[in-house]
Chain A
């Protein structure tokens, strides 16, 4: 049967509580009375997004949203909207006036991201208008490869992909290597959960990456470049393709660039989404068409990389810095940052922070400045607990290090790492054991399985963490976790295995008491782990309104109207709906 209109009515607990069932009954009665039952389909859906203004419904094909409905309103809507086709304006959902948007902090410094917002990424002329490809032109016309490397050394640029290896040194190894041909690879396999720094550069300023690759290729003597980008970034790939074609048309890629005799071209290779392919040896295996698994190092890619030839791999952000350094000078770049960590870094701020998003700051800015001055502080005025940096192989940094400068050495010194720029803020309601379990779940899932300690060890660690979170932790679990962590770190070939135990080790280091509370006291201090919490109703506060009992999805709550209600812990699934709907906050979590 073909209907001419569809009505979606919210059946969320809150809407039902506010009378959605009565409204729905009236709707069906009215439709039947007016003979519209065969023309209008009514469907109950889980929620439509404005539960607090329920009962709520949407009428399609118009997509009109109605809120705060009564049975009388419903009669009007059926008669006007569904019968006569005239939406009832006064009952429709009105967008609340938007809150004023707070101004971002002036502490951000944009180098890598400078062009983004100013240029059209699909128009090469826009990039050239803002001095694009001038650095490549000058390098090819006036500098020898060794001069380029010397300038990079003076700038102090270090790898932005995680480990912070000096870029000039990496280039020097590749330059010195004897090889029939050489390759430059841009690592755009950005896989850390919640991180999208590189995607932003690729989508917003693709030519900066191409120009950086061409300069790197000239410095080491390569003629072919590859961008290894994950297939999950379709817009980035489309924009990169356009950019490469436009650069070829202008002769900025291809044969005899700037009539210097230098040939260089770039191809895109798409990754299929394996996290481990961000590791350089696994990445090259994947480009070669093999299964993406890491290899033993040495030999390093500079000596034996892609198809056994000398290869230089840099991260997107590292390469995007290169043209700026050569155009504005190494001194300018080295004037930003700290003694050992020069320049700026982009971070993806996420988690329990007021202003999430992407930022770029000079290295050496403190965690406090990033969280409070730029991030706008912890969400809903809660207390800061920790920040997780470095992605799933990084560590959690506790409150006492809020004034720690964010640079490669300082982060490593407290058991975390820079990584590619993940920055997840956690508040007092975050359970650190649960966080460690979450990251272990991720790395365990992404382990390629080549090294037994990583493949089996992360599995065992995850099982122990799951047990602890379920309230079945045993004495000795912490020690077993520590032992496994050491074996996995020592016995894994690549950064994934070597770093996988980090979230557990760093939370054990700073939040050991939370692990102990889970195991010995059978309590989750943050009240997150379902196996360790219990919902109870305060008999003093309960007014016997029956709201909790009516909304409980498993009928775990008993009690007569106007009498105290009781939750049966055996039946309760700890979903928390009772606490949400209680009008007098009588439901407590212990």
Chain B
């Protein structure tokens, strides 16, 4: 990268890739994988999510990771964003819950209110 203009180009490209639109990616699943998340079992949660997605042959969902969002009590935490909707965080998602969450939220398209965690803060 040589200058600011090139950096901005990378930024545009990266932003586009984050957009959830069209056929390729209709939803993004994010697992909090900080030390606290991993200690609470986030690796098993991640495995269960990937297994569920593979088993059900879902092709248009992106699975990614992030750090600790501060609600360590509720780890493992999983965030699901569907299309242009506001992303929702879910707390205490162990492997069993992860499979249910994926099936309900992404296959049946149902809201899953019982594990929802609100993270309202200003940024």
A binds B: yes
Indicate if the CB atoms of B74 and A101 lie closer than 8 Å. Answer: yes
Contact (Cβ within 8 A) A235 B34: yes
CA A210 to CA B2, docked complex, whole Å: 18
Question: A340-364: which residues lie under 8 A (CB-CB) from chain B?
Answer: 355-360
Q: In the bound complex, do residue B2 and residue A204 qualify as a contact, i.e. CB atoms below 8 Å apart?
A: no
Q: Please, what's the 1-or-0 string for A116-133, where 1 marks a CB less than 8 Å from any CB in chain B?
A: 111111110110110101
Provide the bound-state CA to CA distance between A75 and B89, in Å: 44
CB <8 Å contact, A355 and B67? no
Closest B-chain residue to A202, C-beta based? B67
Beta-carbon contact of A233 and B7 below 8 Å: no
Minimum Cβ distance to chain A for residue B112 (Å): 12
- Measured in the bound complex, the distance between the Cα atoms of B67 and A122 in whole Å is 10
Residues on B with beta carbons closer than 8 Å to the beta carbon of A199: 34-35
Q: Count how many pairs of residues, one from A and one from B, have CB atoms less than 8 Å apart in the complex.
A: 136
- The answer to the question of B119 belonging to the interface, with a C-beta cut-off of 8 Å to chain A, is yes
- CB of B19 to closest CB in A, whole Å: 10
Say yes or no: is B118 at the interface (Cβ < 8 Å to chain A): yes
Cβ of B114 within 8 Å of any chain A Cβ, yes or no, is yes
Q: Check A196 against B32 for contact (C-beta < 8 Å).
A: no
**Interface readout for B60-76 with A: 1 if CB under 8 Å, 0 if not?**
00001111111111100
Is A46 in the interface zone, CB < 8 Å from B? no
- Contacting B at CB under 8 A, from A181-233, are 196, 199-200, 203-205, 233
Interface residues on B, range: 35 or more
A251 touches B34 (CB 8 A): no
The 4 closest A-B pairs by CB, nearest first: A204-B67, A129-B14, A103-B118, A125-B14
Q: Does A522 contact B (CB under 8 A)?
A: no
Query: Do A128 and B18 touch (CB < 8 A)?
Result: no
Main secondary structure of the interface of A (DSSP, over half): loop
23 contacts across the A-B interface (CB closer than 8 A): A101-B74, A101-B91, A101-B117, A106-B122, A108-B121, A116-B70, A117-B32, A117-B89, A118-B66, A119-B66, A128-B11, A129-B14, A137-B4, A138-B4, A200-B67, A204-B67, A205-B67, A235-B34, A250-B10, A258-B2, A258-B3, A357-B70, A358-B72
Residues of B within 8 A of A (CB): 1-4, 7-8, 10-11, 13-15, 17-18, 30, 32, 34-36, 38, 64-74, 79, 89, 91-92, 114-123
Contacts of A38 in B (CB 8 A): none
- Bound Cα distance A446, B72 (Å): 28
**Within 8 Å of chain B (Cβ to Cβ): is A157?**
no
Chain A interfacial residues counted at CB < 8 A: 53
Interface contact B91-A108, CB-CB below 8 Å = no
Shortest B32–chain A CB gap in Å is 7
Chain A residue at smallest Cβ distance from B115? A98
Question: Is A134 an interface residue, CB under 8 A from the partner?
Answer: yes
